[in-house]
Structure formats: C-alpha cells, structure tokens
Amino acid sequence: MPFFRDALAEYSDETGASGEPEVFLVDVLLKGSGSAGKIEVLAETDAGISIARCMSVNRWLRDAIGRSAEIRDLVGDDCELTVSSPGIGEPIQHERQYIRHTGRLLRVQYAGEDNVVKEVTGRLERTEMTGTDVPFIVLEPSGKGRNRRQGTGTRLSLNLDRIKKAVVEIEF
C-alpha cells in the first residue's frame, strides 16, 4: 500500500539524522474491518530492525493513520496495528532483504534457463542492487536440499527476476 510505504519513507527521513538505518516496508496485511480490523506491517532495515524501532514505527504509523481520513475509513478508528520484522522461515519479499541476509544460508527456488523451476541451498555471498540492469545475488551452493548442485563448487549468480522463492535457512 502506497500510504504505508510513503509513511515509512517519511519516518526514515525524520529519524535519519540519528544515524539509524532507513526503515523500508516489506509487506502490509489487512485483516477484518471496522472495529475488528487489524493492520500488520512488516518492516525492515538493511541491518535488521529492533523491537524498540518497531515500537517507534508503530507510534509513527498510528499518528499518520490518525491524520488520514481515507485510511481511517478503510480500517476504522479502533483497528489494531502491529509492526514487526518478517520472521525466520518467511520468504524474502523485498529485494533489500537480500542485503541483510548476506552470509546466511538460503534455500532458493528459481527459474533456470529452460524455465524449469529448480531449487538450490547455498550461502548468500553477494547482493548486487545498483550499477546493473537486473539486480542479482551470488550463492555458493552447499549441497543441501532438493536438486542440489553437488560437487560443482561453482558459485551461482541468479537474477532476482528469476527467483520464485527464497527463504533463510536456520543453521545449527
């Protein structure tokens, strides 16, 4: 929703002088309506987002909703608002999330050159978002997961537009 994206950009502009990383919107979920309505905002920064920062964003968004008759009409005056980060095991939804997860193990489903969906598990070595026509990531395959690329030892460069689903794997 543009309202929440714009409100978070305004929040980041206001708090940017403190040196904290910019908050960006990952997703907004609207559930129910009227007094039973609930807005769930998933937000993130390139370095991760703290609980205290989520609480600050929540207060900012609550005030922004109060100033917007259009949004109040959509969600009601007494809607519940929660702000959190996407949880472990949730698919990556925003390209900037790849930056945050550099160095972590990812399970990625992607369309190969033949447009057949393939899956690879590997360590995210690099994320390239600027200076290129199509953003891409570089994975070092680990030999885990279905359709694994065992024994190749070669890095895999994947354009983000070919990635169908990417999930951070929990390592023990």
Question: The pTM is what?
Answer: 0.77
Percentage of residues of the chain with pLDDT beyond 90: 46
Q: Pick the more confident residue, 21 or 120.
A: 120
Q: Residues 65-78: pLDDT tens digits? A: 889 888 877 777 77
- Give dist(CA 145, CA 167) in Å, integer: 12
Closest CA to 39 of 3, 72, 8, 80: 80
Structural domains in the chain, sorted by start: 2-84 (3.30.300.70), 97-168 (2.30.30.520)
